[in-house]
Amino acid sequence: MTNPARRALLAATPVLALLAACETPPPPRPADPRLILTPPVMGLGVGLPRVAPGPDGRLRLNLDIANPAGADFPLRYQVDWLDETGRPLSTIQSRPIFRSLARGTITTIEADAPSTRARDFRMTLDVDG
């Protein structure tokens, strides 16, 4: 390699390293592994789920979602309730629910387990449409 070519390569090395560092990092994983967020939902502020038994023994889920954007956000979510072995309970409630999150607000999503057999949950949050 000639000296001018070597100098050009050495001069380009910091630029190439800088460009490699600019690669978009993957979105952060939700703080709770029971929440499944699709990339469009990553811009929302999703709190930690609160799960507690109700007076009838069924679990009750509360989840706060903040929409900091300047526009309403069309949300589709689904809660799957799981038994003691982690298998989904068959229920009519395990279907997508559509909701609009008003701009600049915090919305609380509430869900009740279909039976006392539910021991845990899995929630999927996606964009409507």
Q: What is the mean pLDDT of the chain?
A: 83
**Topology classification of domain 28-127:** Immunoglobulin-like (2.60.40)
Q: What is the pLDDT of residue 24?
A: 44
Q: pLDDT tens digit string along 37-86? A: 988 887 899 999 999 999 999 999 999 999 998 999 999 999 999 999 99
Cα 95-37-110 angle, rounded to 5 deg: 50
**Terminal alpha carbon distance of the chain:** 56
Q: What is the pLDDT of residue 41?
A: 82
Percent of the chain at pLDDT above 90? 60
Hey, what amino acid is at 125?
Answer: L
Q: What is the pLDDT of residue 40?
A: 80
Residues 6+ away with beta carbon under 8 Å from 102? 67, 72
Q: What is the pLDDT of residue 2?
A: 62
Tokens linked to 57:
């023994």
**Is 122's pLDDT higher than 50?**
yes
How do the domains of the chain map onto residue ranges?
Answer: 28-127
